[in-house]
Amino acid sequence: MSRPRKFGSSDWELIPIYFSFITMTEKNKKNPYAKYLQLTTIAFQMMAIMFVFIWLGQKADENWNNSNKNYFTLVGTLVGLGVSLYLILKQLKRMEK
C-alpha cells in the first residue's frame, strides 16, 4: 500500500497554470452570441436612461417653468446623455477584460 504523496515546492508552481487553464476553457464554453447580446442591451439601456431623464425634464418644465422655453427638458436630455455614455463606457471597459 503506497502512502499519499506530499506536495513539494515545484507542485505549487503548477497551480496558477492549472487555474488559468480552467478560466480559458470556461471562456471558450460561453455562448458565442453573448457579446452581441451584451451590445444589444447597451442600446436599450441608453434608450431607457434617456427616456427617464427627458421625462423628468418635461415634468419639471410643467411644474416650475412659467415661460414657453423648455430649459429643464434640455438639461434632462444632456444629463441623461452624459449618464448613459458614462455607464456604457464603463460597461464596454468591463467587456474588454
- The pLDDT tens digits for 40-65 are 888 899 999 999 999 999 999 999 88
Distance CA 41, CA 31 (A): 16
State pTM to two decimals: 0.62
Q: pLDDT by residue (tens digit) across 14-41?
A: 445 444 444 444 554 567 777 788 888 8
**Which one, of 85, 82, 97, lies nearest residue 42 by Cα?**
85
User: Rounded distance, CA 27 to CA 95, Å?
Assistant: 12
pLDDT value, residue 30 = 66
Q: What is the pLDDT of residue 3?
A: 62
Provide the Cα torsion 83, 89, 92, 97; round to 10°.
Answer: -120
